[in-house]
Amino acid sequence: MSQTDTASNFCHEIYELARRWPKQNQVRAQPDGRRLLIIQNLDDADRIMRRNADNYFKNSKWLSQVAGNSRLTADSEAWKFRQKISQPFFGKYDHTRAFAISNIQARAIAEALVSSQDSTTLNEHVIHQGMASIFTQMFLEMELVQLPISHDSPSQLVELASAYAFVAPGQEKNLENKEHIRKILQLRKSIFDALAPLRDDTSLKSPLLKAILNAESEKNSDFSLEKELPTLIDAGTDTAAYSVGWGLHLLAAYPKLQERLYQSLSHIYASNADNPQALQSAIAQHSELRGFIAELLRLYPPLPFVTRLAHANDQLSDIDVIAGDVVVVSLVGVNNKALERDDPWVPNIDAAIKEGYGMGTGSISSFVWGKRVCGGRSFALVELATVLSVLIAQLKIEFSEDKPVAYEWVGQMRRKGGHPLRVSRRT
């Protein structure tokens, strides 16, 4: 079995554990002698992610050894250094501009999906392209065509790196595959070479890009544009694109839910067609849409688990953590509020609205929490709500084929083989 299959199977296992042993932690031995702790208890997860986060280091060597050190992989002072550079832009953004850009790109996505309606598989490429356009316009202040790399090349690099995600540090050579390594080296070189000329581009308007370039002059920072920017693009695009795909899957799986959201959202768009500010406010305050997104992120978080390495011994509710343990927090298994329902595996937006959006819900857990919370969480929720609202109001989503869901882990979770969906325009 390949390492990619191992990771994909682990996604399935995370769901199975949450169904069969909800809220219960698991401990197992690994072939390399280390212990693997799978955490489903919310209080224990909170200790790992927030209350004692300094004891649990990121387990991201699989990505850093391929793409280089970046905010996504760094820890301690190196992480703080990178966070100070990019977080002001992700945390303090123009909400009105974010809504406007997302709305325009969502309409382009809808049109592109309809034009490929003869296909029996959802065209996720155009969704990814649209979400990448939102990111580049919002934070890089350039059109996607101006980006010197293809919109999906950072994703391809992460996907190639993910083959090492379940390999013990120092054991990578045991899985040497010359063709795989060749692809990594070629893609990384093409990305790095294409980005390098940005240093001399005097037309750059993006404050974020300028901050990244200025940070390169810091001594002993191991920081460079070529390493930082691709991972930021990947983090800002893939999660959103996969979430949209899973959202359309949920709409097809539950036609009554889709119709309920369509009726209310189409009315909002029709009523506020000439008032962008009122439209933005109505979408932001739409409780049913917020409930749907909370359920979407709970049931299909693009990142279903987070791995950490225990630095020192610690005590969880039922486990004595030993330094060196691999600790996996199941972001599917810690959504305790929904797990109290009679059938937690069916989306219930009314229950989600009633439960709220705090600890133990998809709106929090899918972005991680604590000091390493996803820096773009607020923007991502605005972006996701805007794009989904347009797609729901304009499109009808149906299954083209009834087949079970198979997960594929490529640094994030996507549907293996794509979503068997047919898209048509609402009349």
- Annotated binding-site ranges for heme: 374
Sequence-distant (6+) residues with CB within 8 A of 218 are 81
Binding residues: 374
CA distance 80 to 93: 20
Tokens of 224: 């460079």
Handedness of CA 283, 289, 291, 293 (dihedral sign): negative
C-alpha pair distances (Å), 5 with each of 8, 13, 77, 303, 415: 5, 12, 34, 16, 13
Q: Nearest CA to 335 among 311, 305, 312? A: 305
Q: Evaluate whether 154 touches 132 at the Cβ level (below 8 Å).
A: no
Q: Which residues pair with 35 in a beta bridge?
A: 29
Map residue 163 onto helix, strand or coil: helix
CA distance 369 to 49: 6
Dihedral class, residue 187 (left if φ above 0, else alpha if ψ from -120 to 50, else beta):
alpha
E strand or H helix at 399, and its extent? strand 395-399
Tokens of 346: 């069916």
DSSP secondary structure string for all residues of 272-315: TTT-HHHHHHHHHT-HHHHHHHHHHHHHS-SS-EEEEEESS-EE
